[in-house]
Amino acid sequence: MEYIINEIRLNINETENILLEKIANKLKINKNNIKLIKILKKSIDSRKKSDVHYKYNILFSINDNIIFDKNLIKQKPEIPDFIIEKKLLPKNFLKPVIVGCGPSGLFAGLILAKMGLHPIILEQGKCAVERKKDVESFWNGEKLNEKSNVQFGQGGAGTFSDGKMNSSINSPFCNFVLSTFVKYGANPEIEYSNAPHIGTDILLSAIEKMKNEIVELGGSILFEHTFLNFKTKNGKICSAEIENNGNIFEIKTDKLILCLGHSARKTFEILFKNKVNIAQKPFSIGLRIQHKQSEISKSQYGEFAKFLPPADYKLSCFLKNGRCVYTFCNCPGGYVVNASSENNGVVCNGMSYSDRASENSNSAILVSVKTTDFESDHPLAGMYFQAKWEQETYKISGGHFLPIQTLKDFFANKKTTQIGSIKSICKGKAMFADLNKILPKFASEAIKEGLQVFDKKIKGFANPDAILTGIETRSSSPIRIVRDENFETNIKGLFSCGEGAGYAGGIMSSSVDGIKLALKIYE
C-alpha cells in the first residue's frame, strides 16, 4: 500500500539519504519494509532561530503484513490521471488562434496541440533568443523595442522574473505544470519545494523547448505577428486580423483565444472599441526595495543562514484606512530590472537567476489601489491610472532611467545624493530621485507606515540605507475581460484567460488557466 507521512525532520547537516531511516524510526518498524517513492513537499522551518531544520512530506509504500501506528500516516488519495486524447477533426475544422505566448498561451497551445487541434499562437514580440538580446540591449542604454522587452515576447512577463511557481490556487493541473517545466530542464526540486522557483536563465531555455514541442505536435507559433482586430459573421468570430512586417492579413478561425499579458494596453483598447465586455479591477502600485541578502538570511535563519539557500519572505499588513501594504515577488539574490514597455513610461520589476547569487535581495512593496481611486467609471480607467504614474516616473527620471532613493531620504521627502552601506544592483541605468513624487500621496504614506510594521517582523527591514526603486505598477492586470463558465466572452467564439484577462496572477495560475481553457475548447 502507498501512504503519505508528514513532518519528517532533517537537521541542516543531515542528508536526504537517511529519509527512509527517519520514516522507519517514526513508525517503529524495520526500514527494509519501506520503499520511498517520492518527496511531496520540502520546506525550511525557521520559527525557532535556535532550531532551524528541514521538513518533508513523503509518499512511501510498505508491505501489507507490517503492523504500525496508522495514526502517523494517511493513505494516498486517488487522483485521476490527466489524460489527453486526440480528437477526430471535421472537414470544415478551423484552427484555434491564440493571441499571446506567455504562460497561459503556451500551456493552452501545448494542450490543444496534444489534442491534435493544430493551434496557431500569435506573438507580437520575438522568440526567446532574440527577445533576450533586445532586453539586454535596452538595459545597456539602447532604444526600447516596444514589442520585444521585459513585458512582451516568448514566455511573457514572467520570463524575466524570479520564476516563482508557488500559487494560492489548488488545482490538480499544478503538478502537470511543474512536471512539464522539469521535463524542459527546471530543477526537479520545484515539484516538491515549498517555495519553488525556476530562474530567468532556466525559463528562457525551458520555453524554447516548449515551443519546439508545440510545433512538433502540429501547432505553429508566429513571432512578430501583431493582433490588430477580429471580425464576426452572424454574431460569431470568423477571423483575426494580423500585421507582420507592415503586411496585414487575416486568419480564418471560429475560436479566438485571448491569452494576453497584464501590459497589453493597445489590445485592451481594441477590445473595448469592439464592445467586448470589460470590467474595472483593483490592483496595486508601489516601489522595489533592496537589502543585502546576507542580512535578510541572517534575520530569517539566525546562525544557520550560512548553511541554507538565500532566504525569502512574504509580509503584509492592513492599515487603519483599510488599505493593504504587502511585499510581492521577492527575489532572493536577485536584481531590480527596468521593465518598461512604452517609450514614455518607466516601470521596474525584480528578477533572479536560478543560482540566486546576487549580493542583494529585492521585493516590491505594494499598496492596494481601489477602483474608486481611478475617479472614472471607464472600463480602462485603471490602465490609464497606471500609465499616468509610469509617465510621471519617466519625467522625473529624464528618460528610461530607474529612479532610486535611500529609505532614509524617502522618509525625509528629499532626493538622494549618496548611497550608504547597501548598493543598488539594477539591470538598466539608474539615477537619484525623490520617489515620493512618482507615487499617489496615499501610496507613499502607506508604504512608509507599512515599512515600519515590516521592520518589526524582519529585523533591519527598514534599514535607512535600503534602496528603493520606482515605479512598480504591473503586479496584476487593471482590467477583467469578462467571461462565462466556458471561458467565452460576450462575443461568440472569443475566449479569454490568464493574467491579462484578470483571472490569474503569476506563472502557475496563468498556466493552469490556459490548460482549463484548452479543455473547454476540446469539449
pLDDT confidence of 80, banded at 50, 70, 90? low
- pLDDT value for 90: 86
User: Please, what is the Cα angle at 118 between 108 and 490, to 5 degrees?
Assistant: 55
- pLDDT value for 157: 96
Stretch 280-300: mean pLDDT: 97
Distance CA 89, CA 406 (A): 61
CB neighbourhood size of 140 (10 A): 10
- pLDDT value for 413: 97
SS3 per-residue string spanning 236-279: EEEEEEEEECCEEEEEECCCEEECCCCCCHHHHHHHHHCCCCEE
For residue 243, what are the β-bridge partners? 226, 248
Distance CA 52, CA 457 (A): 17
- pLDDT value for 360: 98
- pLDDT value for 68: 85
Stretch 343-369: mean pLDDT: 98
Instruction: Tell me: pLDDT of 79 over 70.
Output: no
Stretch 367-372: mean pLDDT: 97
Stretch 127-144: mean pLDDT: 98
Cβ distance 509 to 384 under 8 Å?
no
- pLDDT value for 87: 76
Among residues 162, 174, 183, the alpha carbon closest in space to that of 40 is found at 174
Q: Choose the weakest-confidence range: 59-73, 122-136, 154-168, 211-225.
A: 59-73
pLDDT confidence of 165, banded at 50, 70, 90? very high
pLDDT confidence of 83, banded at 50, 70, 90? confident
Instruction: Tell me: pLDDT of 385 over 90.
Output: yes
Rounded mean pLDDT of the chain? 95
pLDDT confidence of 180, banded at 50, 70, 90? very high
- pLDDT value for 399: 95
Residue 135 one-letter amino acid: V
Q: Provide, rounded to the nearest whole percent, the portion of the chain with pLDDT above 90.
A: 91
Distance CA 239, CA 232 (A): 7
Cβ distance 230 to 496 under 8 Å?
no
Among residues 116, 121, 122, 123, the alpha carbon closest in space to that of 218 is found at 116
Name the CA dihedral angle for 504, 507, 512, 518, rounded to a multiple of 10 degrees: 90
Give the pLDDT confidence of 292-319 residue by residue, as tens digits.
Answer: 999 999 999 999 999 999 999 999 999 9
Residue, of 262 and 68, whose pLDDT is higher:
262
Instruction: Tell me: pLDDT of 82 over 80.
Output: no
Stretch 498-512: mean pLDDT: 96
Domains, in order of start, for the chain: 2-75 (3.30.70.2700), 97-279+477-522 (3.50.50.60), 282-472 (no CATH)
Give the pLDDT confidence of 14-61 residue by residue, as tens digits.
Answer: 999 999 999 999 999 999 999 989 999 999 999 999 999 999 999 999
Distance CA 333, CA 296 (A): 10
Give the pLDDT confidence of 181-233 residue by residue, as tens digits.
Answer: 999 999 999 999 999 999 999 999 999 999 999 999 999 999 999 999 999 99
Stretch 85-98: mean pLDDT: 89
Stretch 157-178: mean pLDDT: 93
Give the pLDDT confidence of 450-503 residue by residue, as tens digits.
Answer: 999 999 999 999 999 999 999 999 999 999 999 999 999 999 999 999 999 999
Give the pLDDT confidence of 427-444 residue by residue, as tens digits.
Answer: 999 999 999 999 999 999
